[in-house]
Amino acid sequence: MSDFETIIYEKKNNLACVTLNRPHALNAYNLRMRDELYQVLGAIKDDPEVRVGIFRGAGERAFCAGADLGEFLTAPSPVVARQVRWERDVWGLFLAVTKPLIAALHGYVLGSGLEIALCCDIRLASEDAQFGLPEPGLGIIPAAGGSQTLPRIIGGAKALEMLLSGRWLGAEEAENLKLVNRVVLRKNLIPEAESLAKKIAKFDPAAISCAKQAITRGLDLSLAEGLALEARLVASLQ
């Protein structure tokens, strides 16, 4: 997996580090990146040596400035676009990973960049991070799960305000809204993400996977269904 063009994939002991690597275009998400992300997500999901994944952006200015505007709506037809989406359901695969995923966010975190971050379990941001959903200004809506993942994290009212008004959030406001777990100094962003990942990787991977599933899957269930899920996960560990 070393011949990627838009991504750097590194395995360090039990950590998988994925760097979005198009810094000249603020790491904009293009079709090639979609295909390469699909491959690395499969590796993270299925490689027993990987216990935690970290997502970061290359360069000084951005985690990811959203979909590549150069490719914007260039699919031959909506039918083809939909077919491609099903064949490469990156977002479904992201959410199917039962190992912990950490997003280390700096600079611009826009559109699909924010949606990638929302597919992760823990978001760390540096002080310079800016979060926004520019889609409505382009006549579209978020299509990488963001319309569903964002309100589940910051609540419907704030998600609606962000999406309808196009207002961006700075790191401090994002932390206040619990969009990010915490804000750190830029120079500490990757060390903090790695240190957190290493801490998690020391625990029993089966227990960690069940803990992630209990919370992420449980959030979409009633309390009774969630308790039944918890009981099944407890039993699966015995």
Whether residue 88 contacts residue 39, with contact meaning beta carbons closer than 8 Å, is answered with no
Single-letter code of the amino acid located at 36? E
Identified catalytic residue from 5, 49, 135, 230: 135
Q: DSSP letter string over 16-42?
A: EEEEE--GGGTT-B-HHHHHHHHHHHH
Using rule CB under 6 A, residue 108 touches ligand COA: yes
Using rule CB under 6 A, residue 110 touches ligand COA: yes
Of the pair 65, 101, the CB lying nearest ligand COA is at 65
Using rule CB under 6 A, residue 143 touches ligand COA: no
Of the pair 22, 51, the CB lying nearest ligand COA is at 22
127 is catalytic: no
Euclidean distance between CA atoms 199 and 15, whole angstroms: 11
The site that binds ligand COA (CB under 6 A) totals a number of residues, namely 15
Identified catalytic residue from 5, 71, 115, 175: 115
Give the shortest CB-107-to-ligand COA separation in angstroms.
9
115 is catalytic: yes
Using rule CB under 6 A, residue 70 touches ligand COA: yes
Whether residue 24 contacts residue 68, with contact meaning beta carbons closer than 8 Å, is answered with no
Nearest to 50 by CA among 153, 197, 159: 197
Pair of tokens at residue 181: 């777990």
Name the helix (H) or strand (E) containing 157: helix 156-165
Give the shortest CB-175-to-ligand COA separation in angstroms.
21
Q: DSSP letter string over 55-113?
A: EEESSSSEEE-SB-GGGTT-SS-HHHHHHHHHHT-HHHHHHH--S-EEEEE-BEEETHH
Q: Which range in 20-28, 35-43, 147-155, 172-180 contacts ligand COA by CB under 6 A?
A: 20-28
Q: Quick one: which of 111, 174, 179, 210 contacts ligand COA (CB under 6 A)?
A: 111
Give the shortest CB-137-to-ligand COA separation in angstroms.
7
Using rule CB under 6 A, residue 129 touches ligand COA: no
Q: Quick one: which of 36, 115, 135, 194 contacts ligand COA (CB under 6 A)?
A: 135
Whether residue 229 contacts residue 218, with contact meaning beta carbons closer than 8 Å, is answered with yes
CA distances for 26 relative to 60, 180, 237, angstroms:
9, 20, 43
Using rule CB under 6 A, residue 128 touches ligand COA: no
Site for ligand COA in 194-223 (CB under 6 A): none
Footprint on this chain of ligand COA (rule: CB under 6 A): 25-26, 28, 65-70, 108, 110-111, 134-135, 138
Which residues participate in catalysis according to the annotation? 115, 135
